Structure 1
Amino acid sequence: MIQGPIGVFDSGYGGLTVLKEIVKELPDYDYLYLGDNARTPYGTRSFETIYEYTLECVQHLFVQNCQLIILACNTASAKALRNIQQKDLPKIDPSKRVLGVIRPTAEIIGEHTKTGHVGVLGTNGTVSSESYLIEIKKQFPNIIVHQQACPMWVPLVENNEYNSAGADYFIQKYLDELFTQSSEIDTLLLACTHYPLLIDKIRKHAPNGITILNQGEVVAPSLKDYLRRHPELETRCSKGGTRDFITTDSTSNFDNHASLFFGSAIKSEFVHI
C-alpha cells in the first residue's frame, strides 16, 4: 500500500491559515504544502487558467505520493475543484481524493445565523463564481446570502499592511458596502484564506454581535470527520508528524511571508511546475 502526506494547495500563502488549523486538529499526519507563488494571484484570472494551474499543482502533489489533497484556496475550490473531481480524478487515480474549502463551510453556516442573512467576503473570482450561493442554497434553501468582493484585502496582507490605517479604510469600505445590501446580516464568512490576518480589524469595524467564521477552524474538524468516515483513505495518509513546504517562486520570500500565516518559522524548497 502506497502512503504519503496530506497535500495542501494554495495559490500563495493564504492556505497556510487553513493548514495551521488542520495541524492543530490532526497533528500526527504528514503534510506537504504547495504555494503557487509564481502565478499568484488566482482571484483575477479566468476560469480556464485557474483550472489549468490548479490541475498542474494537484498532479505534482500526486507525484509526491499525496493520496488526499485539500484545495485550501477559495478561488481554486470555486473554479477548478468540480472539474478535477469529475473529469480528471477518474483518469488519474479514482482512489485518490481532492477536497475543497467551500462545501465544509456551507454545511455549517446554518448553525450560526439566526436571522437567515449571511455575508460572504471574498475575492472577485470567488464572488463571481457564485459557488457559495449555490452550495449554501443546497444545504439551507431559506438562507439569504449577500456577497461582497474585497479586492484590496489580499494585497494589504501580502504587502504587510494589514495593521495599517489603509487597512482600516478598506475594511470599513467593503463592510459598509456589504451591510448596505442588508442590515439583517448576522454572520460573516471570511471566504478567503488571507482574511484571518485581518480578523481583528474586521471585528472592530463590523456591527456588534456579528459572528465571524474563519475557514480554517471549519475545515479542520470537517477533515477529521472525513478521515473517520473514509478509513480506506485514512490508512494511506502517512503519520510521521512532518510538515514540508514547497513554492514555485522565491523560497526566501515565501519563508519570510509564510510565518505570518502559519504562525511559526518554516523552510521551503523550490519546485518548478
Structure 2
Amino acid sequence: MEKTDPDRSGAVGIFDSGYGGLTVLSGIKSVLPEYDYIYLGDNARAPYGNRSFERVYEFTLEAVKWFFKQGCHLVILACNTASAKALRTIQQVNLPQIDPDKRVLGVIRPTAEQIGLASKSGHIGVMGTEGTIQSKSYQIEISKLHPHITVIGEACPMWVPLVENREYDKPGADYFIKQHVDNLLTRDPQIDTIILGCTHYPLLMEKIRRYLPENISIISQGEVVAYSLKDYLRRHPEIDEKCTKGGTTRYFTTDSPDKFTHQASIFLEEQIVAEYAML
C-alpha cells in the first residue's frame, strides 16, 4: 500500500469500481478546477453491479481507507452501486470509528434532490446496473424528498460492458439500448425524466436519446454531483479548508496502469498517466 504523500495531502478522493466515475470527475473538475483530486478505479474487481451487498461494502470500505491514507479528508463515491450498497453503513458505522472529521459522500442523494425540479409529470425512470436497481436506493431517496414522484427502475446489465469494450458507439449497441428504453417506457408511459444511474451511461447518451421521445429529459450525474459538491463545500467550510487547491489530478487503478491509461481516453479528452494502487 502506498505511503501518504504529504505534498499531495488534502486532495478530494473520487472512487469508482472502474472507469465510469471519470465522467463524474470531469463534471466536478469543470465546476471546481482549482482543487486537487485523486481518482481510484477498482478495475481488478469490477464490475460491482452484480456483486452482493457484503462484497461491495467490503471493497468500498477498503478503498475509502486507502484514500484516507493518501491524505484525503473528503471522498466521493462516484459509483452508483457503491453509493447504493455501502455508503450508509460507512457513514453511520465506520467513519465515527475511523475519523469522525472525515467525510464520504455519494452520487444518489444529489441526483434525487435535483429530480424534483426536472419532472413535470411526477413520473421518472432510473436506468442502472442490477445492483443499483435491486437496492431501490433511488426510490428510497426520492420518496424522502419528493413523496409524490413515481420511480420506475430498469436494470441494463449489458450497458457497462458495451462501454468498457468500446462497443458503445457501434451498431450492435442499438439493440440493447432500445430494448431497455422500450421496457422502461412500456412500464410507465408517463415518464418524462430519466436518470442515468450509472456513471458509464453518459457515453451512451447519443444512442439513448435516439430511442426516446423528444419530450423526455435525461439527467446525467456529472454536472449534478459537481454543483452539489460545490454547495456542500460552501456549507461546510471546515471541510473545504482541508482540501488543497493546486489544480492537480492523480489517477490510480487496482489493475494494469497501462490499460487504465489507454481506456481512460474513452472518458477523458486528455492524456493521463495512471499509477497502481494495492488495497
TM-score of the aligned structures, taking structure 2 as reference length: 0.96
Letter in 1 for 2:223: E
* Structure 2 residue aligned with 1:51: 57
Letter in 2 for 1:271: A
Matched ranges for 1:145-156 at <5 A: 145-156=151-162
- Tell me if 1:118 matches 2:129: no
* Structure 2 residue aligned with 1:141: 147
- CA RMSD in angstroms comes to 0.8
* Structure 2 residue aligned with 1:92: 98
Q: Contact 1:245–1:268 at 8 Å: present in 2 too?
A: yes
The CA deviation string for residues 2-35 of structure 1, in whole angstroms up to 9 with x for no partner, is 9510000000000000000100000000000000
**What is the percentage of aligned positions where both structures have the same residue?**
62
Matched ranges for 1:202-221 at <5 A: 202-221=208-227
Task: Name the SS for the 1:119 alignment partner.
Answer: strand
Q: Contact 1:4–1:30 at 8 Å: present in 2 too?
A: yes
* Structure 1 residue aligned with 2:163: 157
Query: Distance between the aligned counterparts of 1:249 and 1:107, measured in 2?
Result: 34
The CA deviation string for residues 55-79 of structure 1, in whole angstroms up to 9 with x for no partner, is 0000000000000000000000000
Letter in 2 for 1:83: T
- In the TM superposition, what is the alpha-carbon distance from 1:233 to its structure 2 partner? 0.5
Query: Distance between the aligned counterparts of 2:65 and 2:40, measured in 1?
Result: 11
Query: Distance between the aligned counterparts of 2:36 and 2:122, measured in 1?
Result: 39
Matched ranges for 1:36-47 at <5 A: 36-47=42-53
* Range with greater deviation from structure 2 (254-263 or 17-26): 254-263
Query: Distance between the aligned counterparts of 2:89 and 2:270, measured in 1?
Result: 34
Q: Which runs of 5+ in 1 are unaligned?
A: none
Letter in 1 for 2:43: N
- Tell me if 1:183 matches 2:189: yes
- In the TM superposition, what is the alpha-carbon distance from 1:262 to its structure 2 partner? 2.2
**Count of aligned residue pairs for this structure pair:** 272
Task: Name the SS for the 2:195 alignment partner.
Answer: strand
Task: Name the SS for the 1:185 alignment partner.
Answer: coil
Query: Distance between the aligned counterparts of 1:263 and 1:100, measured in 2?
Result: 24
* Structure 1 residue aligned with 2:76: 70
* Structure 2 residue aligned with 1:105: 111
Query: Distance between the aligned counterparts of 1:264 and 1:118, measured in 2?
Result: 34
Task: Name the SS for the 2:138 alignment partner.
Answer: helix
- In the TM superposition, what is the alpha-carbon distance from 1:184 to its structure 2 partner? 0.5
The CA deviation string for residues 177-206 of structure 1, in whole angstroms up to 9 with x for no partner, is 101111110001000000000001111111
Query: Distance between the aligned counterparts of 2:107 and 2:90, measured in 1?
Result: 14
- In the TM superposition, what is the alpha-carbon distance from 1:239 to its structure 2 partner? 0.6
- Runs of 4+ deviating beyond 4 Å: none
The CA deviation string for residues 154-194 of structure 1, in whole angstroms up to 9 with x for no partner, is 00000000011111111000001101111110001000000
- In the TM superposition, what is the alpha-carbon distance from 1:84 to its structure 2 partner? 0.3
Letter in 1 for 2:114: I
- Tell me if 1:201 matches 2:207: yes
Task: Name the SS for the 2:219 alignment partner.
Answer: strand
Task: Name the SS for the 1:165 alignment partner.
Answer: coil
Q: Contact 1:38–1:249 at 8 Å: present in 2 too?
A: yes
- Tell me if 1:227 matches 2:244: no
Letter in 1 for 2:80: N
Letter in 2 for 1:22: I
TM-score of the aligned structures, taking structure 1 as reference length: 0.99
- Tell me if 1:23 matches 2:33: no
The CA deviation string for residues 128-174 of structure 1, in whole angstroms up to 9 with x for no partner, is 00000000000100000011000000000000000111111110000
2:254 aligned residue (241, 248, 254) = 248
- Tell me if 1:81 matches 2:87: yes
- Tell me if 1:6 matches 2:12: yes
Task: Name the SS for the 1:137 alignment partner.
Answer: helix
* Structure 2 residue aligned with 1:128: 134
